[in-house]
Structure formats: C-alpha cells, structure tokens
Structure 1
Amino acid sequence: MPFEPLIVVELALLGLGAGFLAGLLGVGGGMVMVPFVSAILAARGVNAGLAVKMAIATSMATIIFTSISSVRAHHKKGAVRWDIVKGLAPGIVLGGLAASLGVFAVLKGSALALVFAAFVGFSATQMFLDKKPAPTRGIPGTPGLLGAGGVIGFLSGLVGAGGGFVSVPFMTWCNVPIHNAVATSAALGFPIAVANVIGYVIAGQGALGLPPYSLGYVWLPGLAVIACCSVLMAPVGAKAAHALPVKKLKRVFAAILYALAAYMLYKGVTAIA
C-alpha cells in the first residue's frame, strides 16, 4: 500500500474532527476513528478483518497523546481525583493486557466489529438520553477498585476507546461529582492506552498482511497524523462547549454514532457471511 498524499488529508480531517468532538462533548475519539480508519485501510487493500484490528489499535495509540493534553488542563483546575486513578490503574493495566494480548489477538476482526457496534450503540443511547446514574454509594475499597479497573481496561482494549463511557458512570454512581469524574477519566486514559498498545504491538508481531509502517497492529502513519491534529483541535472543541447547546449537540452526535454502529455491524455481519 503506497503512502499517498490523499491518505494524509483523510487522516488529518479525521483527527481534526475527532479532536474537536472530544473537546466539545467530552468523549474519546475512538468511536469516531475506528470505522473511518478501518475504511481507509480496507479501501487500500488491507483485509477487512485486519483493518478493523488495526483501526482499534491505532485509535487506542492516539489516546496516549490526547490524554496527556487533556489531563494537564484538568489537573491545573485541581479536578483530577488522583487517589481514584491510583486505585483503578493496576486493574486497568491487567484488564487491558488481557484484552489486547489475549482476546483481541484470538478474536476475528468480524467479531470485534460486532463488539464495537454493540458498544457504540450502547454509548449512543446513553448520550441521546443524557442519562446520569444517580449516586448511591462511595468509592469501593482496593479489591473493588481493582475489579472495576479490570473491567474498564478490558472493555477499552476490545473496542479501542479510552474507557470514559465506563469509568465516568462508575464514578458518578460512586458519588464522585461529574466534573471530577470526567477529569479523572481523562487521566485514566493514559494507563488504558499504554497497557493496550503494548499488547497490540506484541500480539501483532508477524501478523500476515500488515501494511508498511506498521508496529504490530498499530499503523504508525495514522497514529502520527491523527494524534497531531486531534491534540490541536481538542482545546478548540472545549472552548466551543461553553458557547453551544451541548445537550442538543449530544443528541446529534448520538445519531452519528448510531450510523457508525450500523456500518460496523454491517461490516461484521458481511465478513462472517
């Protein structure tokens, strides 16, 4: 697959859009990036199943950079609950490695496409309804945090997302104020991404059909262009959030997510057939 200038343009537009939406709506870009990156790779001759795996891995790798940019801003405001980060991080690392080194490597790309479609459909429904779980209890002890971190890391590793749609509801359910939960989720994106990317790189060694400039399942050109553009646009989206009707925009974005989920569902079903 020759590296064409058109690829750079496509990836740059995707990175700008994903970064803006991440800043505007407080969501990770993985749900937007994975369908488009898989389509970009598949259109250039990469096997459809492999394209899905590489899109998930590359999306996760961009979170390493966007989480650093995001958490710096949250930390300056004193919003990050570092005690929760420390409690969840060990489980996140273990869960992420289990997903990326184990289940991710074994599952076919078609199955991962179906898992991704289900995850995005669920997330879109949450966003459309704008549901916030009622806080009912406090943060659990060390065993509870270890287990919760394992679930967050594992699910994130399967779908290439930063875990915010799992960690934020979990923390608000545990009576953590929403702004602290969002900030803490941003900080959790870093260990989630690092653990899973290590797994993707190791699991992808020797995989057949990888395009040039790949490191395991991570597609380096996609990582470089998307990460640079998304980091630039995330602060712009964050500023726009204060001037735009975010609740209405969330519903519009939910409709887009439903369309992306339907696309990935179609890809998964046709690959099985």
Structure 2
Amino acid sequence: MAFMDIAWLIAAMAGAGVVAGLLAGVFGIGGGAVLVPVFFQVFGIIGVDDAVRMHLSVGTSLAIIVPTSIRSFLSHRARGAVDLEILRSFVFAVPAGVLIAALVFASISSGGLRLIFGAIAFLIGIKLVFDRPEWRLGDTLPVGPVRWFVGVLIGFLSTLMGIGGGVLNNTFMTLFGRPIHQAVATSSGVGVLISIPGFLGAIWAGWDKTGLPIFSTGYVNWIAVALIIPITLLVTPFGVRIAHGLEKRQLEIAFGIFMFVVATRFIMSVL
C-alpha cells in the first residue's frame, strides 16, 4: 500500500509540474500564485486531509521558490538590473514580516488561509484586468517607516500566500513610477528574503501535524519539491511559445482572469 501511495503521489506531482510549468510560461510568473492553486487541487485528489491541504500547498511552494529565486536574483544582479538600495532597505523588514506570518501560519485554519489567498488574488486580478498607466501613488518610493512597513507587509502576505513577493513588490514599485523590468529584477531578491525563512517556518509550523502525505517535513512535501522544479523548467518554454502569440495586455487580462477564478475557488470552498 505504501508503494502505491508513493507511486500515486509521484504521478500526481508530475502532472502538477506540467500544469504549473505551462501556466508559468504563459503568464510569465513562476511562483506560488500558480503553484499554490495547482498544489491545492492535486493534494485534494490524492486525499490529503483538508485541515492541512492549504498549509501544505503554501509550504511546498515556498520551498520550491528558494532555488528559483536565488538563481533569478544572481542573474538579474549580474546584469545590474536590481535596485540594491531598495533591497537593502528590505533586508530586515521583509524577514520580520515572514516571521510574523510563520507564527500566524502555525495557528490559522485552512479556511482562513484560503480566504487570505483568495482576497489578495482578487485584488491582484483587479489590478491586472483594470490597470491604467495613470494609476500611481507618487513619483518616488517612500522611505523611512513607511517603506519598512511596506517591506513587513510584503513579507507577511507573501508568506501566507506561498509566493515569492514578486506580484506585491512589482505593484509597489510600479505604483511609484519604477520601470517594470527594474521591479521584476528587484523582486527576485525579495523572493530570496521571503522564501528561505518562509519555508523553514513552514517546516516548523507543521512539524507535529498529522494527515500529511509521505515524505513531508512539516508543511513541505519533498516529492513535490524534487519533481516540480525540473518538470517546470522543462515545460515552461512551451508556455512561453503560447505567450509570444499574445500581446502584453492580453496576457495581463488572462492572468487577471486566472486570479479571479482562483480567488472564487478558494473563497467558495470556505463558504
């Protein structure tokens, strides 16, 4: 029976990797905004207890983001695209938000976690679908306590969603007039600040929990981690080909609609 459980989990995770890789390629995003919804469905198919399914999806996503965010950050930094001043100002604030999120993560219900993901996904969808160039909060990024608070908030919300912070930091920087390419490059560094303490916090939060699938340490499933990374790297280029057949605005609307669907799915699952 144990062998069949492992075989089924491997097959399910391989399928999840294909779906996540295609979506990542189509929408140009490889983090938890895609992985968490896919994991949530797959873990449900293989019978993971609903009480831990969302937590496991978030924790496993954070673990997968660690190597991808490090690789992305090093590549962007080598090109000089990262705003290191912003990153240095976040070096304590973002992990502080992650730490607070880990404490919440250990006690929040599965339904509460789904509501948080759904609410933020809905707001992201609004931004993407109805975005306008004139939507700005200012021409220069805030400094001092305001930026510290933003860093804490990005770390906090991103950890609870199982994402690398790219969507939230991109929104923050572009709302204050920064170029999207610089925002994306800087967000790769924010992903490092979030994913490393975030996935360690997920292991701690789920250390003594029952109902987790085989080869899980806390809220991280290592079969998923081992399979998803190479499969997504293999499949993502096919999604990229699809994306190149669409205009930038079409991609934004498509990903916004995807966020609306995910938000509705999570919120309805709680009601």
TM-score, scaled to structure 1: 0.87
Query: What amino acid maps onto 1:188 in structure 2?
Result: V
- For 1:37, the equivalent position in structure 2 comes to 39
Q: Deviations over 1:29-57 (max 9, x none)?
A: 31222222122222333211211110011
Question: How far 1:158 moved relative to its partner?
Answer: 1.1
CA contact (8 A) 1:21 1:29 kept: no
More deviation in 237-246 or 208-217? 237-246
Alignment identity in percent?
Answer: 32
Report the Cα distance in structure 1 between the residues aligned to 2:72 and 2:240, rounded to whole angstroms. 10
184-193 vs 234-243, which moves further:
234-243
CA distance 1:249–1:169, shift in 2 (3 Å): closer
Structure 1 equivalent of residue 69 of structure 2: 67
Normalising by structure 2, report the TM-score: 0.88
DSSP 3-state at the match of 2:136: coil
- Return closer, same or farther for 1:23/1:72 CA change in 2, 3 Å cut-off: farther
Map 1:79-98 onto structure 2 (within 5 A): 79-98=81-100
Change (3 A) 1:134 1:26: farther
Which stretch shows the higher mean deviation, 114-123 or 26-35? 26-35
Where does residue 53 of structure 1 map in the other structure?
55
| CA distance in structure 2 between the aligned counterparts of 1:235 and 1:73, rounded to whole angstroms | 18
8 Å Cα contact 2:101/2:159 also seen in 1: yes
Q: Select which of 155, 158, 175 maps to 2:157.
A: 155
**Which is worse superposed, 123-132 or 235-244?**
235-244
Equivalent residue for 2:252?
Answer: 250
2:72–2:188 Cα contact (<8 Å) kept: yes
Q: Do 1:135 and 1:172's aligned partners in 2 also have CA atoms closer than 8 Å?
A: no
CA contact (8 A) 1:14 1:226 kept: yes
Summarize the alignment of residues 207-218 of structure 1 with structure 2, pairs less than 5 Å apart.
207-218=209-220
Gaps of 5+ in 2: none
Q: Secondary structure at the match of 1:165?
A: helix
Asked whether the 8 Å contact 1:35–1:263 carries over to 2, the reply is no
Aligned 8 A contact 1:28 1:161 in 2: no
In structure 2, the residue corresponding to 1:78 is in which secondary structure?
A: coil
Supply the AA of the counterpart residue of 1:106.
Answer: S
Structure 1 residues 24 and 162 mapped into 2: Cα distance closer, same or farther (>3 Å)? same
Contact 2:243/2:251 (8 A) holds in 1 = no
Report whether the alignment pairs 1:125 with 2:126. Answer: yes
Paired position in structure 2 for 1:230: 232
Change (3 A) 1:200 1:268: same
Aligned residue-pair number: 268
1:242 to partner: Cα distance = 5.2
Cα distance change, pair 94–239 in 1 and its aligned pair in 2 (3 A): farther
